[in-house]
Amino acid sequence: MTKSNFLAFDIGASSGRAMLGTLENKQLQLVEVHRFKNHMTQVHGHFYWNIFSLFDELKNGLRKCISEFKVQPDSIGIDTWGVDYALVSGDDHLTGLPFAYRDHRTDNSMDDFFRIMPKEETYMLSGIQFMQFNTLFQLFASVTQKHSALHIAESMLFMPDALNYLFTGERKTEYTIASTSQLLKPGKAVWEEKLFKAAGIPMKLAGEIIKPATPLGNILPEVQTETGSAPIPCIAVAGHDTASAIASVPAKEGNWAYLSSGTWSLLGIESPVPLVSEQTLAMNFTNEGGVDGTTRFLKNIMGMWLIQECKRIWDAQSVLGWHEIVALSSNAKHFKSLINPDDAGFLNPGNMPKAVQDFCERTNQPVPQSKGEIARCIYDSLVLKYKHTLRQIESVTGKKIEKLHIIGGGAHNSMMNQLTADATGIPVFAGPTEATAIGNILLQAKALGKVNSLAEIREIVSNSFEVIKYSPSPKLNWDEAYARFEKL
């Protein structure tokens, strides 16, 4: 195999980076080219994403790859978080900054929508778990609140699609990112018109859906001039970051589950078909699109956002490193207090430590006081949530989960990895930490004919990156803690 170079842009809700991947002889090497912060911008009481600033950062990454790293990539690909979107007018302009999913305009949207279409029917039509910020409810909020942008919009582009559009001028909707919207038929790249109609969303916003690993076209001449790039193709990879990450899970056989651990914890299995039933509705599981026709049957769990927000508040007093936070939590008593990580009060409370304390007080538990006690409460609760979710998956599929692959930034946290193995009683395999960028890069390679299948992608990952195994060695009474947790 000849040497190929691919530039992946991986953007999360708190940061983004450009990662250069070099593929040769079924070995992949990664180099970080550029890293930048991403954050919501509050304007007149609403939260937005500054998409033009993000576009500038991506161009900076491409420029640095060429000028500083002396590599002209064969292609670029972009992945981001799900559900958020930009609207494009008929004369090819964005109608404004995209709303951020933590904006409070959707606080009552689900209940209002269910007065028009019942919850059960909505789930059976979409197969997507209910979260107030799903695209369906965001657009419904814009309809009911009479946002003017809807009147001039001719199309809707999810965040990676919108950035692809800024690079190429091509308006296309990639399947995996569209599947997060709650506007597609389960497991199909087909819009569900009944949901558009019930919400009052114009069908003209529903664009052409394409599969992951589809070339979109070359980057525009103006971008070439600005970055010094050749007219390279922009590839629609698995635009949803979790879909790209799951493509790079180094799993070969057996009944395995994955945990993509970052700002969110995405815990689930790769299924050949959607799993949509009254049982999965009651458990609030989602069926999102994956690579090569697979379905990501999973649950979104409020993940490291909880501790990230605590750190943000604590840093205003005195900056703490992540290792310091883990050390403080290690010295605190296990299971003294527990939270339900997915309580609505944790979505965007402003002061996360206080939100944790308020939850414990409201549920008649000891209120954690120190930073270590609050962090301990969060870590223990997340691990117990993972145990709970795995049990739910087993009850749906009738199959015992034999191992858990943890990928993403959370795979660095050896304490959490060991606690997860102890709590669940199954081996945990941690790594690769750069799973999303790896999946993005190897799907670019697939689009250009350098890789042939999902199985080959996973073979390359296994050849290229270290995976650390954590075996269960429980020293704590997890069953008693779990019984307490379930009552929450």
Pairing of strands 256-261, 286-289: unpaired
AA letter at 458? R
Can 241 be counted among the known catalytic residues? yes
Write phi, then psi, for 339 (nearest 5 degrees).
Answer: -125, 160
Write phi, then psi, for 67 (nearest 5 degrees).
Answer: -85, -40
Its sign, for the CA torsion 357, 360, 363, 366, is: negative
- Residue identified by tokens 């009254």 is 278
Distance CA 25, CA 310 (A): 44
Q: Which residues contact 35 (CB under 8 A, 6 or more apart)?
A: 15, 16, 17, 18
Alpha helices in 145-240 (DSSP H): 149-152, 159-168, 175-178, 193-199, 221-227
SS3 state of residue 182: coil
AA letter at 250? P
Q: Which residues contact 488 (CB under 8 A, 6 or more apart)?
A: 338, 339, 340, 363
Please report which helix (H) or strand (E) contains residue 21, including its range.
Answer: strand 15-24
Please report which helix (H) or strand (E) contains residue 129, including its range.
Answer: none
SS3 state of residue 279: helix
Cα 211 to Cα 172, 214, 311, 456, distances in angstroms = 10, 6, 38, 18
Q: Which of 10, 241, 380, 422 is catalytic?
A: 241
Per the document, the length of the chain is 488
Residues noted as catalytic:
241
